Amino acid sequence: MTIDFEASCLPRHGRSYPIEVGIADGGMSRSWLIRPHDDWAGWDWTPEAEALHGLSRERIAQEGLPASVVLAELVAATQGCRVLADSLIDQYWLDTLAAAAGAPSPFAIQHVATLFDEERADEARVGAAVAFADGQGATRHRAAGDALWLSALIAHIRGVVLPAPQPILLAAQ
């Protein structure tokens, strides 16, 4: 299963918090908008991040779910799964979400490079997988779309044919 977070900014630009999380597996995806937790008041938000993901503070405040609800549903959806991301920063945002929910981090996110090593995927094979994933039409810089993109890349590395992407629950575009 793959995971991706969108955030208020990148940590190098300030104190960052998660605003959306998405997961994907086998062409299926699910995402949640995350209502900012009171503990995150005063944390940073950059116009660059907002321009990239297209989510405004107002929208996540109105449509986002509480951190505890998002975490509980995320844990249920990922139970028993190996969870992979294309950036280790996603672990920071999972940890931040869990802390806001008053819970320990529920699982460790592994970097996709671990799978590349296990599959003995060289640069050419990874490049072909990237090109394949790029051609699948996932909406990039939104959590579910990025998770679907990574899921397609992994499927290509493994030689698995996926069905057309099917959102299970996708936050409004």
* Cα–Cα distance list, 140 to 38, 48, 103 (Å): 28, 15, 30
- Is the pLDDT at 65 greater than 60? The verdict is yes
- The domains of the chain are located at 2-161
User: How does pLDDT run across 146-161, given as a tens digit for each residue?
Assistant: 999 999 999 999 988 8
Supply the pTM of this predicted model: 0.91
Average pLDDT score over the chain: 92
Q: Can you say how many angstroms the Cα of residue 34 is from the centroid of all Cα atoms in its chain?
A: 12
Give per-residue pLDDT as tens, 109-119: 999 999 999 99
pLDDT score at 137: 74
Q: What 3 state SS string does 104-172 have?
A: CCCCCCEEHHHHHHHCCCCHHHHHHHHHHHHCCCCCCCCHHHHHHHHHHHHHHHHCCCCCCCEEEECCC
Q: Residue 139 has what pLDDT?
A: 79
Instruction: For domain 2-161, give the fold.
Output: Nucleotidyltransferase; domain 5 (3.30.420)
Rounded mean pLDDT, 82-103: 98
Quote the percentage of the chain above a pLDDT of 90: 82
- Report CA-CA distances (Å) from 36 to 55, 85, 144, 168, 172: 12, 22, 19, 23, 17
At residue 78, the pLDDT reads 98
φ, ψ of residue 130 in degrees (nearest 5): -60, -45
pLDDT bracket for residue 136 (50, 70, 90): confident
